[in-house]
Structure 1
């Protein structure tokens, strides 16, 4: 049995934060400036009583209803989130109960952000191809808006909340997830961090994350991102990782029909596309209506590419995630 991506559905919260809303709060940033810098027009924001488990359950239910999937057919649930409802229990346990999955199904969280979808697919592949499961539900869900200081316009313009549910099934046939490559550099953890609200002060490893150094008043979590450092890291690791994915998969760049990367922001993605010399028609971007939803950007983009007819059965798509951790990963999936 080989692991294949069978289907994807996603859910975005009802509340929307537009560029017009942000420009009214920060008059020095025009609507045009925000759009040009980020490529984002709207971000969906979770309500005060809406958490990652709620988004995860909603996305999975959409998938089940659309595809006619019996929740009891799921052998294993993987929930990827960096904004869990609680320290304990795991969000996966809440989602298992909320979806009515079997009690003999496995359920676990993985705490990763922008690279999480790649890691989740790798784990699903391992579970299926080792015979531990035949059907894996991979759910990515994050509510980064709850971490963001409302006066920090640098991150408010970028991040949105959302969840995606991906069904990974074991089928007979050729390997459909190949060239899997991972990378980690914890020395860069200080560059994207939620410094407050945990058991340890974030300033222990990230002194620049202190709110008084950012002219902010602490609101509980106060997510900090060193944009230039993240940008430099991305331009450094992504091209070499693409090369390694292709090498492991035994493919050339021209063999790839579509490139779908973590949708960080349009400025960064365009730099990557040019550096990799990927034709624009092969490089899919889909973040204008949802923003950077962290672990869900890749599956949301895949679902949008399918809906628009850009991604079709039999196509090879190179997926690449990169960011908080610092962590990165990539693979090539044969679609359908």
Structure 2
């Protein structure tokens, strides 16, 4: 039986870089030193006017094809995770199929899941591969949250960056992804929210949980999200390792959605994990929503932190509320290794 393998990954970041120093000059009243210490973020990449998540996705996919000599005709399914699609309809993944020159027999689907989206996507790709429906799946996570953020919004502008990551999930004889577990709790919908742009009438739409302090279309209640995360994620990880006859001591790396330094540090302390086993790498890109985990994997592969054959945990969590996790061994053979 074939199993899903996380193959090569390519990341595309918009050309425009927005640093904390630039924000400090623009807003002298903001204390960027304190903000930077809490978020762990010193700069973000911001999409250009008129540049969408689909545009970033195309550039990431083309980079993947070029750098890893991938025949685009071999891709038999494309999955796009984004909360900033080009249109309510048609499906952006269908537009990507045409723009990337993929086969017309290629399946295409969008799914709107945010911060837990990469792990959910891996689970769906694993199911497609194990069922024999597909063998090479292009899983793209692409976000342009900056489109939802007002220029004067101190709480969000200092956190979120735009990015796309293209991951080739391919069939392998070796089982490298297992132990998937999921969670959802719609009672948290009012803590991270864009309430306009859909079919729900404004008067009937969800309202922010607390007072909305900024003009941004995006609303975030940071303290409630931290409380949710600290409650849900350690429990999820504990259940995953126990159900697979492991302990947390058996896990080499905990690869978690890169939300903010403060949130990840609270998780690390609550789990009793040392800093080396829970890498935090968001200083130069910020919180890129569904793209954080593949960006993290790509960086750790490049700098040698991620060892082949090691046992790791992947976890995404956030908007929805939704959360997901699994066990993963990196069996992909890197060039030059």
Same fold (TM over 0.5): yes
Q: What displacement does 1:29 show?
A: 2.3
Rounded Cα–Cα distance in structure 1 between residues aligned with 2:83 and 2:93: 12
- Alignment CA distance shift 1:252-1:216 (3 Å): closer
Give yes or no for the alignment of 1:185 onto 2:174: no
Q: What displacement does 1:257 show?
A: 1.0
Matching of residues 1-336 of structure 1 within 5 Å: 1-173=2-174, 175-201=175-201, 204=204, 206-208=206-208, 213-214=211-212, 216-217=214-215, 222-336=217-331
Moved more, 103-112 or 246-255: 246-255
Cα deviation 1:225-253 (Å, max 9, x = unaligned): 01111010000000100011212333211
Rounded Cα–Cα distance in structure 1 between residues aligned with 2:240 and 2:282: 24
Rounded Cα–Cα distance in structure 2 between residues aligned with 1:138 and 1:72: 15
Q: What displacement does 1:331 show?
A: 0.6
Rounded Cα–Cα distance in structure 1 between residues aligned with 2:195 and 2:153: 14
Contact persistence 2:193–2:208 (CA under 8 A):
no
- Alignment CA distance shift 1:5-1:281 (3 Å): same
User: Which residues of structure 2 form unaligned runs of 5+?
Assistant: 332-337
Rounded Cα–Cα distance in structure 2 between residues aligned with 1:332 and 1:288: 26
User: Which residues of structure 1 form unaligned runs of 5+?
Assistant: none
Could you tell me the TM-score, scaled by structure 2's length?
A: 0.94
Residue matched to 2:335 = none
Give the alignment's Cα RMSD to 1 decimal.
1.5
Contact persistence 2:30–2:154 (CA under 8 A):
no
- Alignment CA distance shift 1:254-1:19 (3 Å): same
Rounded Cα–Cα distance in structure 1 between residues aligned with 2:113 and 2:203: 20
Contact persistence 2:240–2:325 (CA under 8 A):
yes
- Alignment CA distance shift 1:215-1:247 (3 Å): closer
Rounded Cα–Cα distance in structure 2 between residues aligned with 1:59 and 1:132: 24
Number of corresponding residues: 330
Rounded Cα–Cα distance in structure 2 between residues aligned with 1:216 and 1:265: 20
Q: What displacement does 1:209 show?
A: 6.8
Could you tell me the TM-score, scaled by structure 1's length?
A: 0.95
Contact persistence 1:53–1:95 (CA under 8 A):
yes
